[in-house]
Structure 1
Amino acid sequence: MKVLITGGTGFIGEHYVRHLCQTHPDVKLCFTGRNLEKGNELARSTGVHYYRGDLQDEPFVKLICKDVDVVVHCAAKSGIWGGYVDYFQSNVVTTEHLLSAAQHTGVRRFVNLGSPSIYFDYNDHLNVTEDFLPPRFADNYARTKFQAETRVLRAGSEQMKTLSLRPRFVVGPGDQSIFPRLIRLHQQGALRQVGEGRNIVSMTSISNMMLGLDCAVFGGDDICGDVYNVADPQPVNLWDMVNQLMLLLELPAVTRKISYGSAFVTASAAEAWHRLLRRKTEPDLMRHKVAVMGNSFTLNIERAKRKLGYDPALCIDDTLEAFATWWRNQNH
């Protein structure tokens, strides 16, 4: 079997390259990624072939799909600030190119990394199933990830099976997004608990993310043609988890608070000001971030457990400790 991983220099993609090298040495691998330095380092340390190129370049995409059995599509433009066209080109057009090339070259399975951001509507949600959609998408990232996922599912056929995973808050050693942002805000004295601190959230430890991808890549054909929420088996209290991480890093607990309403109004004003000035960089405080830090949001993973064979471990404590160790090593 030959597997192509797009977005191999990102957090999830890099982990999956290394994971497959360690657990499935018989699988032939190749990967793409925008970060040239990280791509070269990953290729050197694993011996996996690194394709350097742009997924919006159709001839390049046809080249990298040649003789591939499975495509694991992790590449995407993330974030919550920016114009629709940029997100559409990065998330939808590249997926269309990959699907077309995969069909042309005889790829047998296409695994897409989707996002539960499509469910987000600034409100509390508990036990969200895969069938839920809000009245409107909250941002261009969510909108284009849903458009890309729809194209993936429509491309499924007898010749090429397709499916999509929707993990939430993937964390662990190597995370450059979720935990590092919280830590830096806290070190700058800018992190405040939003609301009463009782909100619970679904997280996905990186080890459970690897398990979900393995289920998608190596499972039978009966798992295809569907989408699956992927997360740890139990939600966590967000602010208890944040303070547990701070304790592991020998940082003080987060004690300062701000009401949800005050934070949301402040964020709305900051966004309006940035739009008025047509700034490309996102504001430090945004309504989306306030809602994420102040609301509960949990996923129902029963479909993945029942149909995909996904049996995640309860490992958030181990994940926090592993991240803390990695963080200390990176910053000393």
Structure 2
Amino acid sequence: MRILLTGSNGFVGGRVAATARRRGWQVIGLGRQPRPNGPVEAYHRHDLADPLRLDETVDAVVHCAALASPWARPEAYRRANVDGTRHVLEWARSHGTPPVHYVSSSSVFYIQADQLGITEDSPIPAPERQINVYSRSKLAGERLMRAYAGAWSIVRPRAVFGPGDTVLLPRVVQAARAGRLPLLVRRDPSPVLTDLTHVDVVAHYIVEAVAHGVTGAVNLTNGEPVELYPFLFGLLDDLGLPRPARRVPVGAAMALARGSEIASATVLGYREPPITTFGVSMFTHSKTFDVTRCRTLLGPPPFSVEDGRRDLVQWWRNGGH
């Protein structure tokens, strides 16, 4: 098997490269950095905001490249996540129409409410009702995928964590160290439930999807919903970081987040605010997924959330950050 892997230097892409190479596959990596930092057969430096001109023949494409930051200029999301996907598909159409496997995001489903047991057929909010610009850009990418003439799949990981994380953990750690990580208080006293997915589980499932020629949409999680705050408290304890002590009502936190985003967009040049509406929503609304389709097509995950948590803590203690 010979695959083109976009975003091969990234958090998820790097793990996909390593997993595919262990199977004996040839991996043609694509990224914006001058050199590869993972185990690829060949590497091409390219920004997918521009059309892709590449003389390679592959059996499949895995499109991991994306701007995954929770806050950036809308134009940056469009160029990276919409134009980038369009350019990958244009290249694939002109190079034999190989199967394309698109790494999207579970956030395309999100609304400002609890959502339990989300399936691949659950309603997806229209673009104007997407929870933020990032999720809107990933939905736009999905729509481009569905128009592709060849075989395609859309995989939607939920809350990816693990060693090398550059999105979730660094922001939680920074806020905890600065004493800015609040304990958000809902009117509804029920616990916030969340699904998580270790990065190596995501990579395993993506490679399995390529190997089995999976088509259509598949939601990816470890399939072990946890109570968010107990899990977070245990992780902070293991990392030697303070637990949040300041209790903040959700309404007040959301108002502060909206104000911070307006200030960022209007006078601060889109500098990431200390709190975002997306972040508040993720800490106050339950999001769990039905993984029946994933398990049926791709089998059980190779290890548990607890295995993944221990892996993350060990990496952190070894100075991986």
TM over 0.5: yes
Question: Where is the helix percentage greater, Structure 1 or Structure 2?
Answer: 1
Given the alignment of the two structures, is residue 235 of structure 1 paired with residue 238 of structure 2, yes or no? no
Q: Which residue of 1 aligns with 2:3?
A: 3
Q: Secondary structure at the match of 1:41?
A: coil
Task: Describe the superposition over 1:202-244 as per-residue Cα deviations: whole angstroms up to 9, x where unpaired.
Answer: 1111232122102210014xx31x1111101111111111111
Given the alignment of the two structures, is residue 210 of structure 1 paired with residue 203 of structure 2, yes or no? yes
Unmatched runs of 5 consecutive residues or more in structure 1: none
Q: Which residue of 2 aligns with 1:103?
A: 93
Which amino acid in structure 1 is aligned with residue 48 of structure 2?
L
Q: Secondary structure at the match of 2:53?
A: helix
Q: Aligned residues, how many?
A: 315
Unmatched runs of 5 consecutive residues or more in structure 2: none
Given the alignment of the two structures, is residue 63 of structure 1 paired with residue 63 of structure 2, yes or no? no
TM-score (norm 1): 0.88
Range 133-142 or range 250-259, more displaced: 250-259
Distance in 2 between residues matched to 1:62 and 1:167, nearest whole Å: 29
Q: Which residue of 1 aligns with 2:32?
A: 34
Equivalent in 315, 318, 321 of residue 307 of structure 2: 318
Q: Note if contact 2:29-2:40 (Cα within 8 Å) is conserved in structure 1.
A: no
Report the CA distance between 1:67 and its aligned residue. 0.9
Q: Percent identity?
A: 28
Given the alignment of the two structures, is residue 269 of structure 1 paired with residue 265 of structure 2, yes or no? no
Task: Describe the superposition over 1:189-212 as per-residue Cα deviations: whole angstroms up to 9, x where unpaired.
Answer: 111121258201111112321221
Q: Note if contact 2:176-2:243 (Cα within 8 Å) is conserved in structure 1.
A: no
Matches within 5 A, 1:218-257: 218-220=211-213, 223-224=214-215, 226-257=216-247
Which amino acid in structure 1 is aligned with residue 249 of structure 2?
S
Q: Secondary structure at the match of 2:153?
A: strand
TM-score (norm 2): 0.91
Q: Which residue of 1 aligns with 2:18?
A: 18
Q: Note if contact 1:201-1:235 (Cα within 8 Å) is conserved in structure 2.
A: yes
Which amino acid in structure 1 is aligned with residue 117 of structure 2?
N
Which amino acid in structure 1 is aligned with residue 31 of structure 2?
G
Distance in 2 between residues matched to 1:253 and 1:148, nearest whole Å: 37
Given the alignment of the two structures, is residue 88 of structure 1 paired with residue 78 of structure 2, yes or no? yes
RMSD: 2.0
Which amino acid in structure 1 is aligned with residue 29 of structure 2?
F
Distance in 2 between residues matched to 1:75 and 1:234, nearest whole Å: 27
Range 6-15 or range 320-329, more displaced: 320-329
